[in-house]
Amino acid sequence: MTSKFLAVDVGASRLKIGVFEGLNIVRRVELETPKTGGPLAVARTIVDNVGFEKFESVGVASIGPLDLERGWVVNTPNNPLKTFALRDPLSEAFKAPVIVANDCMAAAWGEHVLGGGVGVGDLAYITISTGVGVGVVVDGRLLVGRRGNAHEAGHIVVDVDSGVRCGCGGLGHWEALASGANIPRIASIKAGEWGGDSDAWRLALGGSLSPEALYAMARAGDPFAVRLVDYINRVHASGIASVIAAYDPEVIFVGGSIYLNNEDLMVEGILKYIREYSLLEPPPIRRATFGDDSVLYGALAIALNPPRELTRYFKGA
């Protein structure tokens, strides 16, 4: 009989659960991530929706920050639960080893173990979504960091003069200037500086240019939307150039809803500026192998083939 694995993607708002037999998904559940109910709410929701099956191992890829020593999410800004347990309640319920990693890190490992990065020792996975996150495999090893938080490259400074404050409190960060959640704010700032007039510009000025509207209007040729998409591509290019300078990856996979839905307006624009910003020959940029399920397959990858950087936090059977 094929071994069963449980993979879980704990997002800020969505919880995805996959039951796998080997590499085949045999059951999937998608629901809201609990926002109330205390520190065991997320683990309890997972157990309630899976039932007591026997798994070889369990991989959990989660929003951070993490404390991998304890297997908890600690003080996350993205879910009102703030701090909650993952590893121990799950390993007690399933009587199986549970490996926890950050979502971007897991997605990078997913590319390395199961995706387009098989056989590639150096790669980066970047998500461009509500926020911006980065996971990196260097010399075949997953970059994890002291407590499991070496994925915060979205907070690389890309503009020392913008004066734009990030959700984290810092100034001029990649995520603050270009992530989905920040697009209406950046659009409004840029609209104030622009001398023209267009439909997108008017929406932006009122602070209500959503990412969906921005990219749709740019696709339709709205001049303000086209300029703003170009600016946002420059921001992504400068962030990615920093990732290239730091890690020298052979390939960069990009996922996250903003990128996956708007690759046509982003990939060439980003590459053009990377060539300008980067000292090194830029590596190819590829669409995330597992698309919207990159984090879920990342969770499967850490369950199937846990990197040694995470096995020291192993807990369970």
Q: Which spans of this chain sit near Zn ion (rule: CB under 5 A)?
A: 155, 166, 168, 170, 173
DSSP state of 291: G
Q: Are 214 and 183 a contacting pair, CB within 8 Å?
A: yes
Closer CB to Zn ion, 132 or 310, in the complex:
132
Q: Please report how close the Cβ of residue 217 comes to Zn ion at its closest, in angstroms.
A: 27
Cβ neighbour number for residue 311 with a 10 Å cutoff: 11
Q: Please report how close the Cβ of residue 244 comes to Zn ion at its closest, in angstroms.
A: 20
Q: Please report how close the Cβ of residue 135 comes to Zn ion at its closest, in angstroms.
A: 17
CA dihedral of residues 206, 209, 214, 216 (deg, nearest 10):
-110
Burial class (CB in 10 A: 0-12, 13-18, 19+), 251: middle
Closer CB to Zn ion, 86 or 158, in the complex:
158
DSSP state of 154: G
Closer CB to Zn ion, 29 or 181, in the complex:
181
Closer CB to Zn ion, 108 or 166, in the complex:
166
In the complex, residue closest to Zn ion by CB: 166
Count of CA atoms in the C-beta half-sphere (13 A) of 291: 5
Q: Parallel, antiparallel, or unpaired: how do β-strands 123-128 and 57-62 relate?
A: unpaired
Closer CB to Zn ion, 91 or 179, in the complex:
179
Q: What stretch of H or E contains 94? A: helix 87-94
Q: Parallel, antiparallel, or unpaired: how do β-strands 57-62 and 66-67 relate?
A: unpaired
Q: Please report how close the Cβ of residue 171 comes to Zn ion at its closest, in angstroms.
A: 8
Q: Please report how close the Cβ of residue 154 comes to Zn ion at its closest, in angstroms.
A: 7
Closer CB to Zn ion, 182 or 294, in the complex:
182
Q: Please report how close the Cβ of residue 108 comes to Zn ion at its closest, in angstroms.
A: 20
